[in-house]
Amino acid sequence: MTVQLADDARAVVLVAQDAARRLGHRWIGTEHLLFALAATEQPIGVLLRAAGVEPRPIWAGIVSLVAVGDRAVDWDALSAIGIDLDRVRAQVPGTPGAPTRKGRSASGALRRRTRRRRGHIPLNPTARRCVEDAGRSGAIGSRRLALAVVEAAGPAARTILFDLGVSGPIVAALIEGEAMG
Amino acid sequence: MDGAVDVSERAASRDPDEGLRAVAALRALAEQLEDLQVANARALGWSWQAIAERLGVTKQTVHRKHGKRLGRQ
The residue-averaged pLDDT of A43-47 equals 96
Confidence of residue A50 (pLDDT cuts 50, 70, 90): very high
Q: Mark yes or no for CB contact B13/A158 under 8 Å.
A: no
The per-residue pLDDT for range A87-97, each reduced to its tens digit, is 888 777 666 65
| pLDDT tens figures, B3-50 | 444 544 554 557 888 888 999 999 999 998 999 899 999 999 999 999
Contact A78/B22, CB-based, under 8 Å? Answer: yes
Q: What's the CA gap between A4 and B5, in Å, rounded?
A: 29
> Cα distance from B57 to chain A (closest Cα, Å)?
20
> Measured between beta carbons, which residues in chain B are less than 8 angstroms from residue A96?
32, 36
- CB contacts of A167 in chain B (<8 Å) are none
Q: CB contact, 8 Å: B43 with chain A?
A: no
CA–CA distance from A169 to each of A12, A149, A165, A177, B51 (Å)?
21, 11, 12, 12, 45
Provide mean pLDDT across the span A83-108: 62
Q: What is the pLDDT of residue B13?
A: 54
Q: What residue in B sits closest to A96 (Cα-Cα)?
A: B32
